[in-house]
Structure 1
């Protein structure tokens, strides 16, 4: 993996392929590994940068700074340092929120967005883990004590398998993706649980995505939702789409939160088709 320095911290990323630049951002708790199957299918046409976000994978885990603003700043510094122009950004969950927040500030630098299962305050609240958001808002003192305790834990690969299984739809369970050692190992990595909890602690700032209403000139958006997603609510996703006005929206009926692993051929085809479509058809 390659890396770059962000405020004295190492940010790792997988760099493959040649062609138009595409940045790929993962969901909380995972790493660049979720994009591996899709990247393998796209590398012949695009230059791909699949990140390990701050606090995850092989990137630095400082124990703080896991805020949406900080992730956007990280992306800003990377794009600037590489001299990239007109990048496409593909994200999942928090990665989609980072992509949208970055684009809202730098729309002239973004060609298009492909947003899988976007994380917002509303989409998370509508998911199965929504009560944790209620706890964070209503009982912040107790909440932080729990976070500190959990943040010190190093989970086993067995727990990682359970965490991965929870994210899958019927398709992913049939493929036994919860037995993928690289996916499950993310949760056993020291500091990774603390990073995920840090992201959740900043969740109220993800409401900026709920309130985003792209106007004319905003780069075209494609959304992809797994209809069996337990982490973020597809029903809330439909409401979100009514304000984001994506040029293309896809709903995968047998997929959950990791649809890029559950249906890599289809997701790669959607991404490629959207990025290759003439701009006038995406308006």
Structure 2
């Protein structure tokens, strides 16, 4: 697939296209890219025109000029659909972070453009927290406390210095530790927003495909999503984790094709 470029508000993004037939937009997860989704797209290319895009800050797309939140990535995706795909009806398949974007889009006026929806390892729901997590959160609060009483510029300078210490970095997740600058702030904006309240508002039919061994978005989140969505159906895959489409590719593709192919268009 040849790389093409889409520009949104001065930010360029790489995108790719393969296949024939009705369009399906495939969105990747955090720390990933369209390259990870490409084998999946190729397996669906005989029944769908697959569009893949690298979110700004991922894959071959440069980082955005400033930190983005989920709504900004949804704005980007909505503009991509209207500008590049230009169809009145499309399918969509999302993984992990891509689900955050999808949930936003399904609560906007653009929602009517989506037909078949597939979510795998979807992120965005409030997770269960361990005692270790709350311990780290308390330590972080204590460390920040002395700086909160300082005037604006001094406070920001102090907090910036704090964030550069090894102690502060040790409190963050593995994803957070690997990031810096704009993308670190983008990460924080994203993972601190929980989208559970959007689920009951969604009327669309959605197929949820989950690896039973998923530890990034555990199975209990899939159960909650199925329960809260008005028309959600969950399919579990054995011996598969967060990347179920890579762990069990043939089974994953078979499930997708059964849902997407014309002769199987009956309601789930």
What TM-score do you get using the length of structure 2 for normalisation? 0.77
Which of the numbers 90, 96, 99 marks the counterpart of 1:96?
99
Which of the numbers 211, 217, 241 marks the counterpart of 1:232?
217
Deviations 1:202-243, CA, capped at 9 Å, x for gaps: 3233x234442145xx33100011111111221132122100
Distance 1:221 1:146 in 2: 45
The answer to whether the aligner puts 1:22 opposite 2:24 as a matched pair is yes
Which of the numbers 47, 67, 79 marks the counterpart of 2:49?
47
Q: Is the alpha carbon distance of 1:192 and 1:11 closer, same or farther for their aligned partners in structure 2, counting shifts above 3 Å?
A: farther
User: SS of the residue aligned with 2:195?
Assistant: helix
Structure (1 or 2) with the larger CA radius of gyration: 2
| Higher normalized contact order (CA 8 Å, seq sep 6+, divided by chain length) | 1
CA shift at 1:199, angstroms?
2.5
Deviations 1:65-87, CA, capped at 9 Å, x for gaps: 33110111011101111212211
Which of the numbers 250, 254, 257 marks the counterpart of 2:239?
254
Q: How many matched pairs? A: 240
Distance 1:133 1:32 in 2: 36
Q: Is the alpha carbon distance of 1:120 and 1:146 closer, same or farther for their aligned partners in structure 2, counting shifts above 3 Å?
A: farther
The answer to whether the aligner puts 1:281 opposite 2:267 as a matched pair is yes
CA shift at 1:63, angstroms?
5.7
Any gaps of 5 or more consecutive residues in structure 1? 151-162, 165-186
Q: Contact 2:23–2:50 at 8 Å: present in 1 too?
A: yes
Distance 2:161 2:29 in 1: 22
The answer to whether the aligner puts 1:212 opposite 2:212 as a matched pair is no
Distance 1:14 1:192 in 2: 27
User: SS of the residue aligned with 1:232?
Assistant: coil
Q: Contact 1:21–1:47 at 8 Å: present in 2 too?
A: yes
User: SS of the residue aligned with 1:85?
Assistant: coil
Q: Is the alpha carbon distance of 1:135 and 1:102 closer, same or farther for their aligned partners in structure 2, counting shifts above 3 Å?
A: same
Q: Over aligned residue pairs, what C-alpha RMSD do you find?
A: 3.4
What TM-score do you get using the length of structure 1 for normalisation? 0.73
The answer to whether the aligner puts 1:243 opposite 2:231 as a matched pair is no
